[in-house]
Amino acid sequence: MTLLFRFLQLLSLLLLASAVTAEHTSNWAVLVSTSRFWFNYRHLANVLSLYRTVKRLGIPDSQIILMLPDDMACNPRNAFPGTVYSNADRAVDLYGDNIEVDYRGYEVTVENFIRLLTDRLDEDVPRSKRLGSDAGSNVLVYMTGHGGDQFLKFQDAEEIGAWDLADAFNQMWEKKRYHELLFMIDTCQANTMYTHFYSPNIVATGSSELDQSSYSHHADNDVGVAVIDRWTYYVLEFLETQVTSANSKLTLGDLFDSYDESKIHSQPGVRWDLFPGGEPEGRLRTVVDFFGNVQNVEVENANATDPGSLKEDLAEIARLVEKWQRRDEEYSAIFNISASQPSKKSQSSSVHLAPKKTVGPTRMTDESSWAKRLVGISVVGACTAIWVAGSYLGRSVA
Amino acid sequence: MTTINGDQASPKASAATKSSTARVPPPETSEAVQTRFRVIAAFWAVIVLLGFPIWWKTTSIYRAHLPIQEMVDWDEGKICRPVFPLEIHVAAPAMQISESQHLLRTTQHSLDDFNEFAAHHLRLKLANDTSASNANGDQTAETEHEAAEERADIALTVRVLPQDDLTAPRSEIHADATQLDVFYPPNQVPLPSSSNPPLSAFIAQELQGLYSEEKATIAHILSGETAGSDSESISRRLRRSMKYADTYHLSFSLFTPGPVPSSWDIEAAVKEYLTPLLDAFAPISNFTVDTQVQLYATFSPMAPPPVYDEAETAWTLKKEDLSAFINAAEWPLNPSIGSGPTLNFVLYVPAPSQSPMLVKENRASSWIVPQWGGVSLLNPPLSEELSPSNPKHLTQESLRPAFMTFSHQLLTLLGTPATPSSLPLRLQTLIRVRAATLLLSASSTMGSLARLTESLPSIPIPATVASSVSTTLTHLGTTCSSLRDGRFAAALASARVAETEAERSFFEKSMVGQVYFPDEHKVAVYLPLLGPIGVPLIVGLLKEVKRLIAGRKARAGA
């Protein structure tokens, strides 16, 4: 009997725990292209297509970090200036009139990417360039570019190793910067990039095995280059045709089952072992858990009167406002009395409350600029003196 | 020409080598041997004495010493067990001193009997009446003042008053002060003989009721797991509320799909309706405010449009579609001003053709988006000149309901508990809850940093991190002792410092671990550099050692 009871208790606890872990409170997306130059048009198109999809499914721009190392839309070789297309039919202009690129050009570096993930940024870096995720956030990380065995090249100049990426994710986990993380990568030998991950709650998927290339899907003859990669193309095809609304119930399992090696021309991989519950549990996560934005809106009932309800609060706030108004009046009354008494003595006309002072710009540093100028002048003076003395002495020797 | 010359030269050269192999080379002079020895020794001296230290110095990573064990202990909760002793003053002006002392003792006794969560307990104290009458005035200023005086904050003042026409005791909470009035029939003055008089049982029960939600919340935070019946609502509230920040940015936006209303009395409205609340929050957080008006703001094409409801004579939005109401792609929200997180408050004035607009299920006109902000629909009276249109200007009075709603949403989003029904008490509860949260989060950051330094030996740890860590640890200690003494405002103040410093130490800019090199890479870096230099040096050293050994053997043999 007690055994049964224990078992039931355990079961209820487990159920409760799973109900709690299934919750997340916000969604973030980090979309990174890592290659420059016109012939890598497709990598930018990959990222922009995914950007469009996550935005369509409800993640606001403030929660998307978009890293584009080059500007294909304004490239002089672009036959369609100001646009980026990911399909030869050129139906959807991915550049559109409303895209927010957070890191562009030479800002896209390994260092900045790792700083972004671990939030080791200067204090004056704006919030739009920061990953503000917390313990309740589901994070989607999508990377594309040219890579090899356990590395991904950034901008022809440097590369990120699978170890660094794994360490960065571990630091995010340590600081509770994600709840669950979906890592996607489309590059040659992509699956090697997630082999070193060791932090929990990560699902990783890549486009190709070790020693396999990832191929582009098709080229647009007018644009002149390939416009999208195969794996990304078929992932997007799934997302665009199946996941049509933010309330879609399709799961990650469905997404990964849609991989067709004969179409992708490489073997995509999925890594489940870091996820609690492994593959069976991970497959149940819906696609919009990562690609959409959770918003459990709470409508307030205007007529409820239970504690903490709108009505109660309104009454309290109104009382607070009244109290402050009273206090303000009392204060100004006291002030007027105390101000009017000396004014009688000094026979001055009237005393007003000081006008509201607008806050002016503040000085950035406390150092006095004059001291610095003095130092500068003396240094310049000394140099000039040396120069004059040198030229004078030199002439006298000659 | 040259080829002929070459042909002629080669036999000569081969003849010369042949003759040299036949002959023994002249023995090296001892000076030459000495010189060679010195040259090799000089090279090696430079390498060992200069090169090696420089290499060691330049490639080693500065790692300041961190008190790893202490940090881990904080994280595991070994150093501090947070306790929340609440000091409650009881004033019974109509009773004799001995009677009120007896009342106090018995009430305390039954309170202790009730309490099953030991970390949070109520301590009753007898107040002389003069201080009690002061206490119902401006309480916040007084508590701050007293925190400075190293005394415990008075959480609540209970005034026990006789009232004639009563059969059973009743209580009344002051909505704008931390005061509870308990009225009792004069014949119920506890007798010194009774061990559990009904009046003290009543007071104990009332106090228990006042603090039950706070107790559950703190227990929830401290244990980190769900327990008890009302845990669902508590965890829901904690999830809904923003993460603690030192500064919050409040952004008020007026959105409308048409050209009007194009102005609103926002400055006066914020000053009138919001400033008192923000001032009341001053000990907990700071706030910055910005406002904007956005005209021609349309719904996103994906969002389901409102539907006209004949019965309600209003345009209605379905509850499940509300999450798509905010057009995140096009409305310029989240201005990312300042350093703190942004709370968005959206006031939406529907187009005249879609006015009035309501939520279908319960005719509400406002809703909260957890951890993001609040939305309020405002349906101003339409003017009927030529065609129905919205007013051009929204007056302060017309903004009143919306701003009251925003104030309520702000309270909810900042995690203010729902009970008791007195705002000062709820804010005090929030102070304690926030202090507990910050204490735990700073401790856990310390633990993370300690584990990080252990697991990543390649990242540098600058001295600033060490100093931040020590500041954090001292402030954590102060927080813990302030909590133990019941000085919660002081505890929150030092917990805020601890949290800031802990975040600063963890997010130190120079601690970026992007220097991991696999061993192959190290070989690849060093080999082209050291190979060409190393081979002659090592071979030279070996030859010299061989010669010395041979020489010694020869000398020994002789």
Structure token pair of residue B107: 């009430």
pLDDT > 90? residue A103: yes
Is residue B258 located within the same domain as residue B397?
yes
pLDDT > 70? residue A20: no
DSSP E strand boundaries for A145-243: 147-148, 151-154, 158-161, 180-186, 202-206, 216-219, 226-229
Say yes or no for a CB contact (<8 Å) between B276 and A319: no
Reported as type and span, the H/E element at residue A241 is helix A230-241
Q: Is position A29 within any domain?
A: yes
Tokens 């007071």: give the residue.
B203
The number of domains in chain B is 4
Q: Is position B374 within any domain?
A: yes
- The pLDDT, as a whole number, for residue B137 is 43
Contacts with B378 (C-beta within 8 Å, 6 or more apart), sequence order:
B347, B348, B349, B365, B394, B398, B399, B401, B402
Q: List the strands of the sheet with A202-206, edge to edge.
A: A103-104, A64-68, A26-33, A137-144, A180-186, A202-206, A269-271
Domain limits at B498?
A: 68-79+425-506
What residues form DSSP beta bridges with B89? B125, B157
User: What is the tens place of the pLDDT at every residue in A334-349?
Assistant: 655 554 454 444 444 4
Q: Decide: helix, strand or coil at residue A168.
A: helix
pLDDT > 60? residue A364: no
Say yes or no for a CB contact (<8 Å) between B404 and A134: no
Task: Output the CA–CA distances (angstroms, integers) from residue A276 to A3, A180, A198, B516, in the order listed.
Answer: 27, 10, 12, 28
- The pLDDT, as a whole number, for residue B122 is 81
Say how far apart CA B240 and CA B242 lie, in whole Å. Answer: 7
Is residue B394 located within the same domain as residue B539?
no
Which is nearest to B315 in space by CA: B349, B290, B271?
Answer: B349
Is residue B127 located within the same domain as residue B198?
yes
Distance from CA of A107 to the nearest CA of B (A): 16
Contacts with A347 (C-beta within 8 Å, 6 or more apart), sequence order:
none
Q: Is position B10 within any domain?
A: no
pLDDT > 80? residue B490: yes
Q: Write out chain A residues lying below 8 Å of B412, CB-based.
A: 308
Q: What number of other Cβ atoms are within 10 A of residue B113's Cβ?
A: 11
Tokens 């090279």: give the residue.
B43
Is residue B298 located within the same domain as residue B192?
no
Q: What percent of chain A has pLDDT over 70?
A: 77
Mean pLDDT: which of A335-339, B20-24, B228-232, B235-239 is highest? B235-239
pLDDT > 80? residue B82: yes
- The pLDDT, as a whole number, for residue A302 is 56
Contacts with B165 (C-beta within 8 Å, 6 or more apart), sequence order:
none
Say how far apart CA A123 and CA A322 lie, in whole Å. Answer: 40
- B411 to chain A: closest CA residue: A313
| Contact of B330 with B237, CB cutoff 8 Å | no
Q: Which of A121, A175, A308 comes nearest B419 by C-beta?
A: A308
Instruction: For residues B54-82, give the mean pLDDT.
Output: 86
Is residue B139 located within the same domain as residue B259?
no
Contacts with A220 (C-beta within 8 Å, 6 or more apart), sequence order:
A85, A87, A88, A90, A226, A227
CB-based contact, B333 to chain A, within 8 Å: yes
Which of A112-115's residues contact partners 24+ apart within 8 Å by CB, and which partners?
A: A112/A67, A113/A32, A113/A67, A113/A154, A113/A160, A114/A160, A114/A164, A114/A168, A114/B512, A114/B513, A114/B514, A115/B509, A115/B512
Q: Decide: helix, strand or coil at residue A240.
A: helix
Is residue B327 located within the same domain as residue B352?
yes
Distance from CA of B513 to the nearest CA of A (A): 7
Q: Is position A246 within any domain?
A: yes
Say how far apart CA A51 and CA A58 lie, in whole Å. Answer: 11
- Look up residue A154 and give its amino acid: F
Is residue B108 located within the same domain as residue B129?
yes
- The pLDDT, as a whole number, for residue A156 is 84
Residue A188 bears catalytic tag? yes
pLDDT > 70? residue B346: yes
| Torsional sign, CA A274, A278, A284, A287 | positive
Q: Predicted confidence band at A361 (pLDDT cuts at 50, 70, 90)?
A: low
Q: Which of A62, A164, A323 comes nearest B334 by C-beta?
A: A62
Q: Please tell me the least confidently modeled range out of A149-153, B210-214, B328-332.
A: B328-332
C-alpha angle A390/A391/A392, rounded to 5°?
90
pLDDT > 50? residue B268: yes
Q: Write out chain A residues lying below 8 Å of B239, CB-based.
A: 23, 25, 136
Question: Which CATH number do you get for residue B263?
Answer: 3.40.390
Is residue B263 located within the same domain as residue B393?
yes
Q: Is position B521 within any domain?
A: no
Q: Is position A110 within any domain?
A: yes
Q: Is position A247 within any domain?
A: yes
Q: Output phi, psi for B85, to 5 deg.
A: -85, 115
What residues form DSSP beta bridges with B291? B252
| Contact of B416 with B404, CB cutoff 8 Å | no
Is residue B457 located within the same domain as residue B402?
no
Domain limits at A114?
A: 24-291
Q: Is position A209 within any domain?
A: yes
Residue A146 bears catalytic tag? yes
pLDDT > 80? residue B437: yes
Q: List the strands of the sheet with B179-184, edge to edge.
A: B120-126, B84-91, B154-162, B179-184, B170-173
pLDDT > 50? residue B133: no
Say how far apart CA B68 and CA A323 lie, in whole Å. Answer: 50
Q: Predicted confidence band at B132 (pLDDT cuts at 50, 70, 90)?
A: very low
- The pLDDT, as a whole number, for residue B334 is 67
Is residue B187 located within the same domain as residue B298?
no
Q: Is position A310 within any domain?
A: no
**Which residues 247-286 in chain B show a CB within 8 A of chain A?**
272-273, 275-277, 279-280
Is residue B143 located within the same domain as residue B206?
yes
User: What is the tens place of the pLDDT at every residue in A55-98?
Assistant: 888 888 888 999 999 888 888 998 888 889 988 888 888 887 77
Q: What is the ipTM of this complex?
A: 0.73
For residues B323 and A359, the model is more confident at: B323
Catalytic residue among A74, A188, A352, A383: A188
Q: Is position B328 within any domain?
A: yes
Say yes or no for a CB contact (<8 Å) between A299 and B322: yes
Distance from CA of B485 to the nearest CA of A (A): 30
User: What is the tens place of the pLDDT at every residue in B364-391?
Assistant: 888 888 888 888 888 888 877 767 788 8
- The pLDDT, as a whole number, for residue A142 is 95
Indicate the angle between helix axes B488-506 and B423-455, nearest 10 degrees. 30
For residues A232 and B5, the model is more confident at: A232
- Look up residue B197 and give its amino acid: P
Say how far apart CA A72 and CA A49 lie, in whole Å. Answer: 14
CB-based contact, B363 to chain A, within 8 Å: yes
| Torsional sign, CA A279, A284, A286, A290 | negative
Q: Is position B432 within any domain?
A: yes
Tokens 């995010």: give the residue.
A172
The chain-wide mean pLDDT, for chain B, equals: 80
- Look up residue A221 and give its amino acid: N
Q: Predicted confidence band at A229 (pLDDT cuts at 50, 70, 90)?
A: very high
- A159 to chain B: closest CA residue: B514
pLDDT > 80? residue B337: no
Distance from CA of B261 to the nearest CA of A (A): 25
Is residue B252 located within the same domain as residue B357?
yes
C-alpha angle B341/A199/B441, rounded to 5°?
40
For residues A129 and A316, the model is more confident at: A129
Which is nearest to A118 in space by CA: B71, B513, B63?
Answer: B513
- The pLDDT, as a whole number, for residue A366 is 55
Q: Decide: helix, strand or coil at residue A132.
A: coil
Q: Is position A123 within any domain?
A: yes
pTM greater than 0.90 (yes/no): no
Contacts with B558 (C-beta within 8 Å, 6 or more apart), sequence order:
none
Which is nearest to B244 in space by CA: B156, B343, B178?
Answer: B343
- Look up residue A177 and give its amino acid: R
Q: Output phi, psi for B534, to 5 deg.
A: -70, -40
Q: Write out chain B residues lying below 8 Å of A61, CB-based.
A: 328-329, 334
The number of domains in chain A is 1
Instruction: For residues A278-295, give the mean pLDDT.
Output: 86
pLDDT > 80? residue A351: no
- Look up residue A43 and give its amino acid: H
For residues B462 and B319, the model is more confident at: B462
pLDDT > 60? residue B62: yes
DSSP letters, A186-209, are ESTTGGGGGTT---SSEEEEES--
Q: List the strands of the sheet with A158-161, edge to edge.
A: A147-148, A151-154, A158-161
Which is nearest to A92 in space by CA: A198, A270, A236?
Answer: A236
pLDDT > 60? residue A154: yes
Say how far apart CA A339 and CA A331 lie, in whole Å. Answer: 12
Distance from CA of A337 to the nearest CA of B (A): 21
Q: Is position B316 within any domain?
A: yes
Tokens 């609304």: give the residue.
A245
Catalytic residue among A146, A217, A218, A352: A146
